[in-house]
Amino acid sequence: MGSSSVESTVYTLTEGQPQPRNDTSAGLQTTNGGSYMLLSDTQLIETLAHFSRERIPERVVHAKAAGAKGYLEVTDDISDITDAEFLTGIGKKTELITRISTVGPARGSADTVRDVRGWAIKFKTREGNNDWVFNNQPVFFIRDPIKFPSLNRSHKPHPTTNASSSDMFWDFHVHNPEGIHTLFFLFGTRGTPATLRHQNGYSNHTYIFTKDNGSYHYVKIHLISNQGIRTLSNASAAHIAGTSPDYHSLDLRTAITEGNLPTWTVSIQTMQPSTVPTSGLSIFDPTQIWPHSSYPLRKIGTITLNQNPSNYFTEIEQATFSPSNMVRGILPSADPVLQARMFAYPDAARYRLGANYQFLPTNRPVNEVFAPTQRDGAMNFTDNYGGEPNYVGATIGKREDGGREAEVVSKMPAVFTSEVTEKDFVQPRRLWEIMGNKGEQDEFVRNLVAHVSEVTVEGLRKQVYALFAKVDQDLGRRLEQETEKKVAESAEHPKKSAWH
């Protein structure tokens, strides 16, 4: 049955005509022991035609995901740095929907592959939707947005073999070394989270929190798992991928069903605009973190996931998220990757779902929408603003003044460079040292060796070793020795087909 406002137990066509049953072709005619079909059997034709059209375009990235609903509850006062309605007022709760995904693999892939996880959240505030489109790692691979398509292509199947390629992966990263910091997270222990409940989320980008009095602060947003951080070994991740490929999705759903509701503490790092020049940081560069010693976390509230989707397609697959969705009190920074994403995400949604994707129930804001200059288009199932004029400056319509004025933040530093310098290796070097304190260096090297040993392009492996040697000379030498040993062993004992 379709989702109608009227309950019915009678099968109908999608135009509403009642049918006696839905499991046989009514147009089947029998004559002299034979049978033939009639195209007048509307139920059969509609069933076959709809089946060929059930799929919408898969997301180019973030295709495989789990989703849930929940709420954000404000627990701490940050009204001194923002007027964002949903972030101010202790005890205030805001409804949200979230989608947590792998990045590179296709929709039918396994959940436990080594990959960055995307984490998108739509807050349905009383002043419109506010989206956070984050990752589970605090830094990103690039800082120049023109590289974004190429980054993702290098992680996807090779155009000839249609299989993942270490050659493409390392060819990209060797020649775009600003992503070295993220590689340390990807090939470290956090590259394969045990569950979606046991991982953090990070904005990567710098945002601006504003107040109507003209003051503003730069912020980075953190979602810290109250379940703690748990990860999978390579062996466990591979076993689960082969036995329960939807493990992360099912784990999240089961936890919510059983009342074991996952929660995250929402916190921010803040920076005064006046301190930016002396911070030593490129604050619009998503490949860098802000040291917690200088910029400690400040708590906002708690996110709780408490409701599973009743239908994955309508509530999660059709859900759209964009960094461009911001409410009063929040602005984008001059981060070029953030600026580019603000165009790319809504554009992808228009391609996948059509010009009116915002009016799908899972995406529609809870407050009233009045945007008569954006009307018509395919699948418009609203009243289309009736007779309201659809041109700017109309004086004969019902619109009254009182909308949000454009916010202007003056004297905003806008320094950007995509050149790679020694500075790009400082934070990864510190992370490598921290790994040593935690005993994680050996596992990191093993993870790298397993991937880099698959590189077949002549000279490329040596470039990978040189890349990591810029972080630490001993790391580069160790990676080379262990990788070349594995390559030699593989040459002596080539893998046999599973059929032998």
Identify the structural domains of the chain with CATH numbers, from first to last: 1-54 (4.10.91), 65-159+166-359 (2.40.180.10), 422-492 (no CATH)
Catalytic residue among 130, 135, 136, 325: 135
Question: Comparing 72-86, 329-343, 380-394, which segment has the lowest mean pLDDT?
Answer: 380-394
The confidence band for 400, taking pLDDT boundaries of 50, 70 and 90, is low
Q: Which residue has the higher pLDDT, 499 or 426?
A: 426
- Cα-based distances in Å from 463 to 165, 174, 468, 476: 16, 6, 9, 10
Q: Is 260 a catalytic residue?
A: no
The confidence band for 48, taking pLDDT boundaries of 50, 70 and 90, is confident
Q: Is 437 a catalytic residue?
A: no
Two structure tokens written together for 396: 């004969």
Tell me what the mean pLDDT of segment 385-403 comes to.
68
- pLDDT, residue 99, reads 98
Q: Which residue has the higher pLDDT, 418 or 91?
A: 91
Alpha helices (H) along 205-364: 234-243, 247-257, 312, 336-353
For residue 371, pLDDT beyond 70: yes
Catalytic residue among 22, 32, 50, 62: 62
- Cα-based distances in Å from 35 to 29, 294, 307: 5, 80, 50
Q: What is the rounded distance in angstroms from the CA atom of residue 242 to the CA atom of residue 300?
A: 40
Q: Could you read off the pLDDT of 337-368 as tens digits, one per residue? A: 999 999 999 999 999 999 999 999 999 999 88
- pLDDT, residue 416, reads 60
Longest CA pairwise span in the chain (Å): 93
- pLDDT, residue 27, reads 52
Q: Where are the beta strands (DSSP E) in 295-408?
A: 298-307, 330-332
Q: Could you read off the pLDDT of 258-304 as tens digits, one per residue? A: 999 999 999 999 999 999 999 999 999 999 999 999 999 999 999 99
Q: How many helices (H) and strands (E) does the chain have?
A: 12, 12
Phi and psi, residue 315, nearest 5°: -95, -30
For residue 408, pLDDT beyond 80: no
Tell me what the mean pLDDT of segment 469-484 comes to.
97
